[in-house]
Amino acid sequence: MKKLVIATRRSRLALWQAQHIAGRLQAAHAGLSVELLPMSTRGDELIDRRLDQAGGKGLFVKELENAMSDGRADLAVHSMKDVPADLPPGFVLAAITAREDPRDALVCSKYKTLGGMPKGATVGTSSLRRQSQIVERHPGLEVRLLRGNVDTRLAKLDRGEYDAIVLAAAGLTRLGLEARITARLDAEEMLPAPGQGALGIECLAPSADILALLAPLADAASAACVRAERTVSRALGGSCTLPLAAFAQMTGNRVRLRALVASSDGKRVVRSELEADAADPEALGNQVAQDLRRQGADAILGR
């Protein structure tokens, strides 16, 4: 193939991610032309509601998949935390690249930590996962809805609409906004979303030529961790309506997977942690999901 077209959302972060992948592809394959097809998605347009109320993670990817289906694009680049656990028939995640910092980040000019914020202080996020973990540990804080792209969210903080906000550290780093990070929240304080910090490249299957072009960009360790995390999500329903976190780390040929399910008010939380050989990350993900179910995850999720 001499030319590829990448479908991407129009946000500054999405464009950075697509341009990053385009640059890596051109560096790996001399003579390859890569163009971007920027698009607006329903997830970008519906900024007054949480995603679980508006239709879920698929709102960020449907238009991009339509562009691939009708031949306008060859592939799409996604933040893996925005990709539904189950792809539509005919699509495949062709590559997962090396992961950026998977942690969440506190952004705040007044306070250094969540624990140092006074009762009644407001924290902005659109994530049920973040909300449940914040209120579990810091019940005196008020978590309020915050939607929009990274720049929009930072602008709302700077206008004083929130005392602090929580964003993915990876997105801030990629946009050159690392200096805005007040504190990186370790997994013990805020377990990340499945796939957070990793980029995924989606295409139609089978696309043997595209798979061959993407092979140099794939990172096996990151892919194994993300597959384990996404399996937990898939086994428990696979939707952003779930206050669910999952985070895997690889050491040698072993994967350690931690996950939790929580009620949105943070009053009911179940956690699981298991380790297994990296050869079958999906099996590990299913074991963790089963352990969460044994502890009452289904009841927390209203099933």
Q: Where are the beta strands (DSSP E) in 18-171?
A: 33-39, 75-79, 91-96, 104-107, 122-124, 142-144, 164-168
CB atoms near residue 190 (< 10 Å): 22
Kindly list the distances between the CA atom of residue 88 and the CA atoms of 58, 74, 205, 236, in Å, as whole numbers in the listed order. 10, 16, 11, 18
| Cα angle: 295, vertex 270, 263; to 5 degrees | 115
86 is catalytic: no
Q: DSSP for 213-234? A: HHGGG--HHHHHHHHHHHHHHH
* Coil/strand/helix, residue 140: coil
* β partners of residue 34: 4
70 CB contacts (<8 Å, ≥6 apart)?
none
* β partners of residue 36: 6
Please pick, among 82, 101, 104, 163, the residue that the annotation labels catalytic. 82
- Strand 199-204 and strand 75-79: the pairing is antiparallel
181 touches 172 (CB < 8 A): yes
Distance between CA atoms of residues 221 and 98, nearest Å: 8
Kindly list the distances between the CA atom of residue 194 and the CA atoms of 3, 154, 211, 228, in Å, as whole numbers in the listed order. 32, 23, 23, 9
Which residues are designated catalytic?
A: 82
